[in-house]
Amino acid sequence: THKMKVPCVCLEHGKTDPNPRMKYKIVPIEQVNNDPKIAQLCALMASGKVPQNTAQAAAWHLANGLSWQELLVKNRMESKYTGNIRFFNPMELQNAFQLSTILVREYEKYQAEEPESTGYVAPVSVEVENETAESPTADSDAVDTKSL
């Protein structure tokens, strides 16, 4: 047995949250999700080009169809004593929206040029803005999702 920290994203929204006591099995990504945009997203995160929380928002949007509004109001923690803590801050969602748009656009461009090919690897270069802003709480002002 070997322990190691690996940046990961959930590709199946709604499943039980993982924890360190669970046993994991490493499998090719295609066994979990065969969308090449998701594979590219994970590669960008693994190479350090995309922060984990940005990748998570984009993954849930692309792989599970969560809307940007659903992601905006998703709580990481809910407490009647300390208030709710959002899963994503507005900057993370804005970056995830931009990243998702780029991945979809590049994939569609590739499909138009190479409709018979199965070996898609997007030539995506990504620069993500600083995401150190705190996640808004339930008491924060609403964010205009039209800008996301």
Q: What are the pLDDT digits (tens) for 52-62?
A: 999 999 999 99
Query: First and final CA of the chain: distance in angstroms?
Result: 43
**Tens digits of per-residue pLDDT, 79-104?**
899 889 999 999 999 999 999 999 99
Return the percentage of the chain with pLDDT > 70, whole number.
76
Query: Which sign does the torsion angle of CA 140, 129, 132, 82 carry?
Result: positive
Is the separation of the CB atoms in 41 and 50 below 8 Å? Answer: yes
- Kindly give the interhelix angle for 90-113 and 36-46, rounded to the nearest 10 degrees: 130
Write down the pTM of the prediction.
Answer: 0.75
> How far is Cα of residue 51 from the mean position of the Cα atoms in its chain?
9
Is the separation of the CB atoms in 34 and 107 below 8 Å? Answer: no
Residue 113, helix vs strand vs coil: helix
Which tokens in the block code for residue 139?
């008491």
